[in-house]
Amino acid sequence: MTSSSSSSSSSSVSRLVIAAPSSGSGKTTVATGLMAAFASRGLAVSPHKVGPDYIDPGYHALATGRVGRNLDAYLCGPGLVAPLFAHGARGCDLAVVEGVMGMYDGAAGEGELASTAHVAKLLRAPVVLVVDASSQSRSVAALVHGFASWDPEVRVGGVILNKVASDRHEVLLREALDAAGVPVLGVLRRAPQVDTPSRHLGLVPVAERRAAAVEAVAAMGAQVAAGCDLEGLVALARSAGALACAGWDAGEALASSPPPPLPVPSLGAASPDPRFGPEGASSSNAGRAGSAGLRPQVTGRADFTHPESRVRVAVAGGPAFTFSYAEHTELLSAAGAEVVVFDPLRDEQLPEGTRGLVIGGGFPEVYAAELSANEPLRKAVSALAESGAPVAAECAGLLYLCRELDGMPMCGVLDATGGMSGRLTLGYRDAVALSDSVLAVAGTRMRGHEFHRTVVEPGSGAAPAWGVRAPERRVEGFVQQGVHASYLHTHWAAEPGVARRFVERCRTS
Give me the active site residues, please.
Answer: 395
Q: How far is residue 235's CA from residue 145's CA, in Å, rounded to a whole number?
A: 22
Residues 32, 68 contacting (CB under 8 angstroms): no
- For 18, 72, 85, 86, the CA distances from 81, given in Å and listed in that order, are 16, 7, 6, 9
Q: How far is residue 475's CA from residue 490's CA, in Å, rounded to a whole number?
A: 16
Q: How far is residue 394's CA from residue 446's CA, in Å, rounded to a whole number?
A: 14
Which residues, listed in sequence order, are joined to residue 97 by a DSSP beta bridge? 17, 48
Residue type, 416: A
Which candidate, 387, 494, 399, 507, places its Cα nearest to that of 52?
Answer: 494
Q: How far is residue 103's CA from residue 406's CA, in Å, rounded to a whole number?
A: 38
DSSP, residue by residue, 13-30:
-EEEEEE-SSTTSSHHHH
Q: How far is residue 260's CA from residue 488's CA, in Å, rounded to a whole number?
A: 22
Query: Long-range contact list for 292-299, CB < 8 A, 24+ apart?
Result: 292/443, 292/444, 292/445, 293/258, 293/441, 293/443, 293/444, 294/258, 295/257, 295/258, 296/258, 296/259, 298/255, 298/256, 298/257, 298/258, 298/259, 299/255
Q: How far is residue 313's CA from residue 506's CA, in Å, rounded to a whole number?
A: 8
* Angle, in degrees to the nearest 10, between helices 56-64 and 210-227: 70
Q: What are phi and psi of 215, to 5 degrees?
A: -65, -40
Which candidate, 237, 223, 234, 183, places its Cα nearest to that of 29?
Answer: 223
Q: How far is residue 160's CA from residue 184's CA, in Å, rounded to a whole number?
A: 6
Locate all alpha helices (DSSP H) within 362-496, ordered by sequence: 368-373, 375-386, 396-401
Which candidate, 152, 151, 201, 156, places its Cα nearest to that of 177?
Answer: 156
Burial degree of 120 (CB within 10 A; 0-12, 13-18, 19+): buried
